[in-house]
Every structure is written in structure tokens, then in C-alpha cells.
Structure 1
Amino acid sequence: MKAIIVHGGTGSFKSVTDADEHRRGIEEAVRQGFLTLEKINSAEEAVVTAVSVMEEDPTFNCGRGSVLTYRGDIEMDAAIMDNNLNAGAVSGLKRILHPITVARAVMEQTDHVLLAGAELEEFVTVLGFPREDNLIVPKRLVQWKEELEKIARGEKTRFGKSVKLAKKAEEYHSTCGAVAIDDHGRMTAGTSTGGMMMKSFGRVGDSPIIGAGTYADSFGAVSATGHGEKIMKLTLSRLVAFFMEQYPAQKSVDIALERARYFDCECGLIALDRYGNIGIGHTSKDMSWAFIKDGHAPVIF
């Protein structure tokens, strides 16, 4: 029954090269994740492995390669959850290469679900997670400077609202995520992101919000990507899991995406149900994803 599926974000690719880089990255992530499944037979370890690979890849908006806040620094979110409702999440994490491992530590070593702020920093320090001061990559610095120039020209407001509200930004949101099931039927979902470019006010996205960007229960596991504010309002991942009580993963994703389209939510979803069925879909123009099922060749888009 072993299977793993990963996503590397959704939106609109800027170029063929951009698309190829995402496909290369997710292929490496899904292969490494499935290798962990084969060696250890643990859905949790497979998800952490796959997400960690993408956190190390500057192609993705997570770990090294995260987008910058208005201040020009990096604040990351991540979450992990399994089918027994064990969950851990972090928000506003700084100077950590693998936020998914900190989220897992919250799940396994605390009585809490979501940590943020000064207490999160203390948690990271007490547990001795290695700090990383080289997370900003050149392309993100260029994007940040371009956004500052747009604000200076009056094309955007300081707080992110576009002056031309009817015009959607043609960009790709490279949040990463993975869901897996092992031979014991254990399911895990994990999501990691640098959040929204130019975010401010201590913004928390959908990825660390249980039921929004990440969710798992006895019926399935789900990871979402896209416009975080609308994903939160729709509790999109929990919605997919609700439908998986009655339908296979793909139909559940399809129904949830119809709700998302109705509310003009640009998003993507990956899901696995308790029988190992895979669900994939998106309302955006593009989405990078890949999966491997036991005994089958990898499928990569």
C-alpha cells in the first residue's frame, strides 16, 4: 500500500526553465521520500524526508529559498499531522533550514499544536536545532527589491493590496508539501513555506493552520498550496478529508476544488485516502507534483 505524493506549489510558471526546475526538484523529493518509505516503512519519516529535500532546494518557497518579508528577512511556517490526529506546527520561524523538523518536534515533544513568537525561538534554542544564516537566495532578493519599487511607484500599497484589484498577479507560489501512507496504513501530511512575499504584521499563512493548509485523520491526509488567506477561510484541507469519508481521494479533491473555484481561490491540493488512492488538482494555471505508488514507476508533472 506504500505511496507518497509531493507538491512544489501552484500558480503560473514564469518560464519553461522555471517549470523544469520545479519538476526536477519534486522528482528528487518524491524519490527520496519513497526510498525512506521502502527502508523504514514510516509515512511520517517519508514526509519529513521529502519536505526536507525541498527545503534545501532554492527553487522552492521554503527553507533556503523562502520569500522575504517587507523588512527583508525570512519567516517560515510548517506543519505536520498524522491519521491519529497528532499534529505540530510552527509560524514565523527564523534561521532554520528545515522547519518541518521543528514542527515534528512540536508534535512529538510538547502538549501543544502550534508555536510562534518568542516561545518558538526558545523552543528551538532549548532543543538545539542548528541555526542557518544563509537562507536568502539571489532571486528572492531581486523579487523583494522589485516589490519595494512597485510600492514606491504606487502600484501596490504597503500592506499588499494591489491598486488594480481586478488584475491577478501572474506568479507561482512555491510552497512545498507531501503526503504519504505506509504498509501499516499510517498516513501523514506535511507542508512547509516561506509564506507570502512582502508579508507583514506577523502574518500567519494557511500551511501551519490545521485544517487549512495541512490535515490528516483516519480517512486521509491532505496538503494544500496557493492563496493562503482564502485557503484558511475555506478550511480547504479539512474539507477534502471530510469528503474522503464518502469518496476516493480524487473525487474528494475535485469536489473541494469546485468550492474553491466558486470563491475564486487559486490553490492546489494533494491527498491520499486510507486505501492508498491518490488525489491531485488545482484551480491555478500550473502546479508541480509527483507521486510514487508501490510497484509503479514515478509519475511527475
Structure 2
Amino acid sequence: MMFAKQLVGLLVIVMAIGCTKMEGQNKAANQDTTKKDWALVIHGGAGTISKEKPDSVVKAYKSDLDEALSVGEKILKEGGSALDAVESVINYLENNPKFNAGKGAVFTHDGGHELDAAIMLGNNRKAGTITGVKTIKNPISLARLVMENSKHIMFAGEGAEEYANQFDLERVNQEYFYTESRHKAWKRAIEEEKQDGAQSSVIEPGIPGDFFDEKKLGTVGAVAVDKDGQIVAGTSTGGMTNKKFGRVGDVPIVGAGTYASNEVAVSMTGWGEKIMQAVSGHTVSAYMKHKPATVQEAGNYLLQDVLNEGEAGMIAVDKNGNTYLNMNTQGMFRGTSDSEGNRKVAIW
């Protein structure tokens, strides 16, 4: 009799565990598990975005986002790799002075430019990152070379420049990165700092001065999945205006601003220190795997429950081509496209 009661109790426990596991699986199954041939998501910075600008300015930014999407779409439609698509999209954004990466990079406290970038493959978690480079026209391309050719993952400052000497990468002088709006933002930051005598005058990562409240957030990034199921994340940035003493933000930190796993590829934009504290990219991936959860649920968890309002924006794609692009800021330059004809660009 006692044995029978114990057996019944054990069966109840097993059934309860099974039901709990099934509930979690059903929750994760709410998303579309049909594999898309390819999907692409891009961002060009998140922050306080004024809606008071002329239609011509808004159209110009949307046109550039549209062109960036087209660059990646062409590669993916023709059966190319997500890695090539992500690098090419970010190259376009790095070459566009409207964005805080490459040509449009913000100024450091010393009046120069220091750039960071990272790229990562989800299927094998290979990654390459660089930080504090000063002569690399397209930092994301150097990050890819690190990933593909080095036993190390990250190179910094002079070491990154020396590593780049091994390759046929386009190099530029510091004057190349100059833009008038960034220079004006830097001068204002310096004046504010003199008046305040406080680190609080540092402008947190700059976005184009003709469009944004310059005291908010920046960076560019792309995530993609291709016909072979490879998911890739890439991010590139000029950092924050008036940054000091070799400051490193979230972008080149694997698991923070850039991350890719079997579950998802993530690129963040926003206040780098907050993104690092939340280990944001890895948090999204782990939430999806262990909850389990959809990419939408994981993204909302990060932006709504972990980070505070006004701190970040995020783009992501999972292995099936389900995409996520959202922010807890007022707006984010963003766009998405996939093999099923879903396509959009947005700011607010």
C-alpha cells in the first residue's frame, strides 16, 4: 500500500514537470518556425529624435536607410552569405556622414576620432572585434579580418593598427572622419565641461547634430540570416562625443553590444555603459534558450525589464528569420527586409 502511494506521488511529479516543460515549449512555438530563405535588419542609432525637422531631412535619412537595406538585400537574394551582407551594409553606413561610424564619427575629448567595431557568427560563435582605431576607413572590415585570420578575438588601439598593416585595407588620416556637425557638438561639450567642471557634460553617444538631440545615442549595426541558416551580427561606432582616456563602449564587447549564437544575432545601440552592465546581447540569447522564448519576448524583456527607459535600441534575427527592431528611446533609425517581401524603414 505504501509503495503504491509512493508510485502515484512520483507519477504526479513527473507529469507536472512534463506539463511545465510543454508549456514552455508551446510558448516558444508561438513564433513562426517556418524558415525564411533570408532576413536582414539594420539600425543607424537610437535616441531623442526631433519630429520638428523638414520633410526633406526626414526623407534623406529614410532614403539612406533604404539604400543600406538594398545593399544587403542584393547579396542575400542572390544566395550570398549573411556575413557578406552584414559587412557590406555596415560599410555603407560607415561611409555615410549622417551616422556615428566611420566618416561621421564623433570627436573624443582630445579632438580626434577613435572607432570600434565587432562582427560575430552565430553557428560557431566565432568573433572579431577592434577598439580605438584611428586610421581604418571601415572598422567592420578589420573586425572581420580579425575573426577570420587571428587566434585572438580583440585588438585595441595601436595593436589593432599594427594588425591591420598585414592586410590590404584602406587607410585614412584623421581629417577624413571630420564633419562640421560633429565638430560643433564637440566644441559645445568642451564649453559645457569648462562651465560645469563635471564629467556629466560628456555627450552620450552622438548622432547627427542636424537631426538629434546631440546629448543622446548612436552607432550602426546589422544582423542577418542567410539561405544556409548562418546568423550574423555586426556593429560599428565612433563612440560618444568627448569620451576620455581610452574609453571603450559596448560595441566591441562580445555579449554586450554585439552577439550571435545558435538562437539569435543581436546588435545594440544606445548608452554603452548600460548595455554592458546588462550583458545585453547574451541576455537576449540566454532568455530565448532557457525560458524558452521568442525573439520578440526576449527583446521586450531586455528593453522593458532589464534596461531603463531612454537607454537603448536593439535589432535581432533568429535562425528562422523572425526579426525584432525596437527601442526604449524616442526613436531609432531602423529597417528590415526578408525573402517573403516584408520590407520597411522607420525612425519613430
TM-score tier after normalising by the smaller chain length: over 0.9
Query: 2:92 aligned with 1:47, yes or no?
Result: no
The corresponding residue for 1:24 is 63
CA distance in 2, matches of 1:115, 1:64: 21
Instruction: Render the CA deviation track for 1:248-276: whole Å, top value 9, x for unaligned.
Output: 21111011112334x45610011111111
CA distance in 2, matches of 1:171, 1:298: 31
Instruction: Render the CA deviation track for 1:144-198: whole Å, top value 9, x for unaligned.
Output: 11111112222x52xx3249xxxxx764423000000001110000000000110
- Structure with the higher helix share, 1 or 2: 2
CA distance in 1, matches of 2:111, 2:310: 27
- 1:1-301 matches, within 5 Å, as 1=36, 2-14=38-50, 15-17=52-54, 19-83=58-122, 84-133=124-173, 134-154=176-196, 157=198, 160-162=199-201, 171-245=215-289, 246-261=292-307, 263=308, 266-301=311-346
Query: Which deviates further from its counterpart, 39-48 or 17-26?
Result: 17-26
Question: CA RMSD of the aligned region, Å?
Answer: 1.7
> Is the CA contact (8 Å cut-off) linking 2:118 and 2:258 kept in structure 1?
yes
> Is the CA contact (8 Å cut-off) linking 1:260 and 1:283 kept in structure 2?
no
Instruction: Render the CA deviation track for 1:34-55: whole Å, top value 9, x for unaligned.
Output: 1111224200000001111100
Identity %: 36
Rg comparison, structure with higher value: 2
CA distance in 1, matches of 2:49, 2:303: 20
Shift of 1:96: 1.6
CA distance in 2, matches of 1:259, 1:191: 23
Structure 2 residue runs of 5 or longer lacking an equivalent are 1-35, 203-212
Secondary structure of the equivalent of 2:200?
coil
Shift of 1:281: 1.4
The count of corresponding residues between Structure 1 and Structure 2 is 292
CA distance in 1, matches of 2:245, 2:274: 18
Structure 1 residues 70 and 170, CA gap change in structure 2 (3 angstroms): closer
> Is the CA contact (8 Å cut-off) linking 1:32 and 1:50 kept in structure 2?
yes
Query: Which deviates further from its counterpart, 99-108 or 112-121?
Result: 112-121
Structure 1 residue runs of 5 or longer lacking an equivalent are 164-168
Secondary structure of the equivalent of 1:161?
helix
Query: Which deviates further from its counterpart, 144-153 or 47-56?
Result: 144-153
> Is the CA contact (8 Å cut-off) linking 2:189 and 2:201 kept in structure 1?
no
> Is the CA contact (8 Å cut-off) linking 2:47 and 2:310 kept in structure 1?
no
Shift of 1:20: 4.2
Instruction: Render the CA deviation track for 1:185-235: whole Å, top value 9, x for unaligned.
Output: 100000000001100110000000000000001011000000000100100
Query: Which deviates further from its counterpart, 245-254 or 86-95?
Result: 245-254
The corresponding residue for 2:7 is none
The corresponding residue for 1:166 is none
Query: Which deviates further from its counterpart, 27-36 or 127-136?
Result: 127-136
CA distance in 1, matches of 2:274, 2:58: 25
> Is the CA contact (8 Å cut-off) linking 1:13 and 1:19 kept in structure 2?
no
Q: TM-score w.r.t. structure 2 length?
A: 0.80
CA distance in 1, matches of 2:59, 2:298: 29
CA distance in 2, matches of 1:43, 1:172: 30
Query: Which deviates further from its counterpart, 205-214 or 127-136?
Result: 127-136
Q: TM-score w.r.t. structure 1 length?
A: 0.92
